[in-house]
Amino acid sequence: MKPTTEHLASLTQKVVHHLESIYASAPRQPDSAALADTLLRIMRLDEHCEQLQPSNSAWSERDIAVITYGDTLLADSEAPLSTLHRFLNAYLHDTINTVHILPFFPFCSDDGFAVIDYYQVNPKLGDWPHIQALAADYRLMADLVINHCSTSSTWFQNFINGRGYGHDYFYTASPNTNLSDVVRPRTSPLLRETETANGTQYVWCTFSHEQADLDFGNTAVLQEFVKIIRHYLDNGVRIFRLDAVAFLWKKLGTNCLNLPETHEVVRLIRTLIEHSCADAVIITETNLPNRENLSYFGNGNEAHSIYNFSLPPLLLNTLVTGNCRYLKQWLMSMPPAQNGTFYFNFIASHDGIGLRPAEGLLSEAEIASLISTMQQFGGQVSWRSGDNGTKRPYEINIALFDALQGTTKGKDAFGIERFVCAHAIMLALEGIPAFYMHSLLATGNDYPRFESTGQNRAINRHQWDYPSLTAALNDAQNHHHQVFERLKALVRIRQQQPAFHPNATQFTLHISDQLFGFWRQSMDRRQSIFCIYNVSDEPHSLLLSNLNLIVTDDWRDLISGQRYDDPMMDRIDIAPYQTLWITNRHVTEQAV
């Protein structure tokens, strides 16, 4: 609707406040009122402004996401985005409603995260009509690669030439500056020496020398990204993943990580996006220690959602050691998501299994043991620069299916059961679950791709020949088919349970180190689900009396259909890696 004069004035003042906070100590002080008017015009908020929805009304237990590259599935004579769309409609239309297509723009490196042109679709994938078609059938999530862009971009070439559009978009520093406190996710030199029309410049490169960091101290950069946001909204994007946003603001003499200005930029982006489209969501991608990651919720006024980065390494450690102690300790410490926010749960992604989010949660000895186990299963290790130039492990690069083929004792016969158990945990936790496409498909390590590219992350970025994939998924004897169908069956059960709403109550259970459990309760308190998982390779038993089930309710397992007639006396034998979802409200029952 068209905003009233009073509403527009209130929104303008809110944006002015954001801008004054962001640029309070910037060397170039903008006219905040004029800049606010410009941003509102770019977003067309002076013409149309939506009413914000009540908290938690924009998501439910039915929300399931899949994460994929645009060219994960390839078919002859077809744009990869069309192939992806065809696969989603044929195999996942009743399973997922959200698709995160990893950067689908022209790029020079890092599999899309060194963006050359934010306004174009990579022609090797398709074009904007393909994106719009996907957005018409699924809630579309896209990356806002906001910290850096490609050194092959027109902006950077204009920087070298010293003139033209975008020539002043990049952050530079003197090589004589003490930058030892700057936190890095890589081991390459921070500054890239670049010859320009204005002499030798040293460009800040948090990630690689093909990814030049942008200078948000220049308000023209902020305006550019607001234009990009508007462009994405116009093409159907409804979920914005703020890539590497923790590194956004630079201030010499600090670690340049999670600075107050960065948090205020996130708050500004949220204000602009949610008033432009009430059901739009921003998710921060901050691969950091747990407490730092949680800070991006702000006071319920920053990200609508954060990636639950500590879950993958802790869950992996749990399942390869057969001990849930550290996972349980972490879960007990996690605050419920505030009103209007939710956790984005994932256990595998296009990147590796991050180890920074395990800092303070696992000891260095435990991390070293986890790394050693993953290396036995074909995994690689990527490194970052630590304090005083030391090299520290940053992530483990491995396909999750191969990561869970055994334990610290070695490979065993429980790989599929362990893999399904991991996803059953993710599906039941507070938040919205997201499957990496290769986890849904039970894809293993791609050694040829890793060797041909020389990139550790390529091991988990396989490209499927579409006919080969469909043949595998239609073969009941194939492990790809077996895993795919079992995961889909779990999703169908989850989607019917009010107690699995992303914001439904959750409490951690204290059973044993081998039996991991938590309790979920629907927001109307009518349904309870006790989620119990044997995370070990040995059978264990559980007395139902330990769960304090209400004896007058009719309890049964949603997965197996098993009924428990005497919850005070029944003892359950739980097989290795078996999952139980014991409920008093039987919305659906389907064996997996």
- Give the catalytic positions in this structure: 243
User: Coil, strand or helix: which one is 384?
Assistant: strand
- Taking the CB of residue 14, how many other CB atoms lie within 10 A of it? 16
| CA pair distance 575, 251, nearest whole angstrom | 54
| CA pair distance 54, 446, nearest whole angstrom | 45
DSSP label at 449? H
| CA pair distance 287, 148, nearest whole angstrom | 16
Q: Are 65 and 433 in contact (CB under 8 A)?
A: yes
Burial 274-299 (b: 16+ CB within 10 A, else e): bbbeeebbbbbbbbbbbebbbbbbbe
Name the pairing type of β-strands 515-521 and 505-508.
antiparallel
242 annotated as belonging to a binding site for a ligand: yes
Type of residue found at 276: S
- Nearest 5 degrees, angle CA 45-CA 239-CA 34? 30
| CA pair distance 470, 374, nearest whole angstrom | 29
Residues 6+ apart with CB under 8 A from 5: none
457 annotated as belonging to a binding site for a ligand: yes
Q: How far from 313 is each of 14, 143, 352, 502, CA to CA, in Å?
A: 39, 23, 10, 21
Residues 6+ apart with CB under 8 A from 470: none
User: Coil, strand or helix: which one is 438?
Assistant: helix
Q: Among residues 131, 146, 120, which one has the least CA distance to residue 224?
A: 146
Q: How far from 425 is each of 45, 238, 316, 431, CA to CA, in Å?
A: 41, 27, 11, 12
402 annotated as belonging to a binding site for a ligand: no
Q: How far is CA 27 from the centre of its chain?
A: 34
148 annotated as belonging to a binding site for a ligand: yes
28 annotated as belonging to a binding site for a ligand: no
User: Coil, strand or helix: which one is 205?
Assistant: coil
**String of DSSP letters for 349-378:** -SS-EESGGGBTTB-HHHHHHHHHHHHHTT
User: Coil, strand or helix: which one is 105?
Assistant: coil
* Binding-site residue positions for substrate: 110, 148, 241-243, 350-351, 457
* Binding-site residue positions: 110, 148, 241-243, 350-351, 457
